[in-house]
Structure 1
Amino acid sequence: MAEFAEHLVPLLALTAMEIVLGIDNIVFISILTSKLPAKQRKSGRNIGLGLALGTRLLLLFALAFVMSPENAVFSKSIFKLSSLGIPVDSITHGFESLSEANSHGPELESHDQDSGANNLDEIDEITLRDLVLLLGGAFLIGKSVHEIHNKLEDASGHDEGDGKVVTFKGVLFQIALLDVVFSLDSVITAVGIVSELWVIVVAMVISMLVMLAAAGPISAFIEKHPTLKVLALSFLILIGIMLVAEGFAAHFNKGYIYFAMAFSLVVEAINIRLRSKRKAKIEAVG
């Protein structure tokens, strides 16, 4: 009991973090399953979130088995950009110029140049984790742009679509593919925060149960307000760009992205409220 009480705070913190990191997964699943027949949407969401939990647990046990300071499989370089003919040396000069411009003394200049060289090594060497982030981010950007294009075509009166039939298995395949990308970052973050495996497993199960309960209302709300769907797709493009940037070792504070998302949602909530009031006034007059 004392051991559980000791781990209660990290358990609650990790559960909250998993829920926050899983919101983008819910949005993506909601958008994909919205193309299915109404009777299949709920089962599609539930199976999709079940796949997400399964993927997270598999990755967690895999990382616990292979990720160690001596055997960091996911951090080992599998190839270099310079070997593909990409002019990485030009990036070196950019780092050096930036270091010189931002330096204010000999010690700081030396530190900045060393930092630039280290960053260059990270950019040049592509690891397995980087490759997953790059491919997943590119897929997320392409898929979201395609969905926005379809929304614009529908708004223009082109209802014939692209001629493709959406199948239940096809939607699940796309969900499973993106679950790997969403889960990878989530699991690596969880492993970095908590060392006890059982705490991470419990946090993931609890967060997934919360997301299962929230998936239905979120999907219904997005379907009720079409502008929110476009906003959600824009968020997914932003997340895809962030994943690609991280794949190229461009690390930055994700808090800025979450703040931008929260601010956009507040503005959209105000717009929804204004549209509702305007609609009610028109109906009252009519």
Structure 2
Amino acid sequence: MLDYLVALLTSPEAWIALATLVVMEVVLGIDNLIFISILTNKLPEDRRAGARRLGIGMALILRLALLGTVAYIVQLTTPLFSVFGHGFSWRDLILIAGGLFLVAKATREIHHHVDPAPAEEHGADAAINSVGTAIAQILVLDLVFSVDSIITAVGMTDHIPIMVIAVVTAVTVMLLAADPLANFIERNPTVVMLALGFLLLIGTTLIADGFGVHVPKGYIYAAMAFSALVEGLNMMARRARRKVRVG
């Protein structure tokens, strides 16, 4: 075991695989982090940080648990049945279910922001009860993103220690970025709608992937980055107009 670890630490290929996998795991974690941020921002303010940490902690536990069953995870890509010539595996079914959940959740949140319900329907009892609901929804999406994340890791390297380091690093980055991202979304209401649009896009991509239509991740993240850039310019323009009015 010691000889294996020494050989791994002295292998340039292993370090390259680790760096690449860390970047990919961090990028894949952005989807989950956006969902957690939007969901927890609806909770009472004193419970938000705790719910975010719990959600991200569950993501780490799920991914490490899945890494312990790598042989089984690989079998998730084995077709179970075929429809019109396309084979569906457990991974496909999980991605389709997760994508549908994400699309439904994002659509509901968009409808709430466009046509909000009366304030009295969202009193203290609703807020308190939503804590358990938020955790349950975070857990569902954690499972979907964790399966996708681990399958990606398995496809890039055969070394379990590299996968573990990459997953722990990515989740640590998520933990550090969770509060700043959630606070930024809370301070900028228009960003909420943009983030919900991202979730719709991600959910649709998961469904397409489950049906065998593989959209390159680079296209998805490039579109998200461009949209974020445009929104950033809009925010700068609004800030400049406010300064002119105040001045």
TM-score above 0.5, yes or no: yes
What aligned pairs does 1:8-87 form with structure 2 within 5 A after superposition?
A: 8-62=15-69, 64-67=70-73, 73-81=75-83
Structure whose alpha-carbon radius of gyration is higher: 1
Q: Give, in angstroms, the shift of residue 4 of structure 1.
A: 1.0
Give the 3-state SS of the residue equivalent to 1:75 in structure 2.
coil
Matched, 1:130 2:136: no
What aligned pairs does 1:217-228 form with structure 2 within 5 A after superposition?
A: 217-228=180-191
The share of aligned pairs that are identical, in percent, is: 43
Contact 1:49 1:212 in 2 (8 A): yes
5+ long unaligned stretches in structure 2: 1-5
Give the TM-score normalised by the residue count of structure 2.
0.90
Aligned length: 237
Q: Select the residue among 104, 110, 114 that pairs with 1:142.
A: 104
Q: Select the residue among 143, 164, 170 that pairs with 1:207.
A: 170
AA aligned to 1:57 is L
Off by >4 Å, runs of 4+ in structure 1: 160-164
AA aligned to 2:153 is A
What aligned pairs does 1:165-204 form with structure 2 within 5 A after superposition?
A: 165-166=126-127, 167-204=130-167
Q: Give, in angstroms, the shift of residue 161 of structure 1.
A: 4.9
5+ long unaligned stretches in structure 1: 82-87, 89-120
CA distance in 2, matches of 1:181, 1:66: 16
Deviation by residue 1:105-153 (Cα, 9 ceiling, x = unmatched): xxxxxxxxxxxxxxxx32xx22111110111100000000000110112
Contact 1:150 1:161 in 2 (8 A): no
> Which residue of structure 2 lines up, in the alignment, with residue 259 of structure 1?
222
CA distance in 2, matches of 1:76, 1:17: 24
Deviation by residue 1:201-245 (Cα, 9 ceiling, x = unmatched): 011111111111111100010111111111011011001000101
Alpha-carbon RMSD: 1.8
> Which residue of structure 2 lines up, in the alignment, with residue 4 of structure 1?
9
Q: Give, in angstroms, the shift of residue 17 of structure 1.
A: 1.2
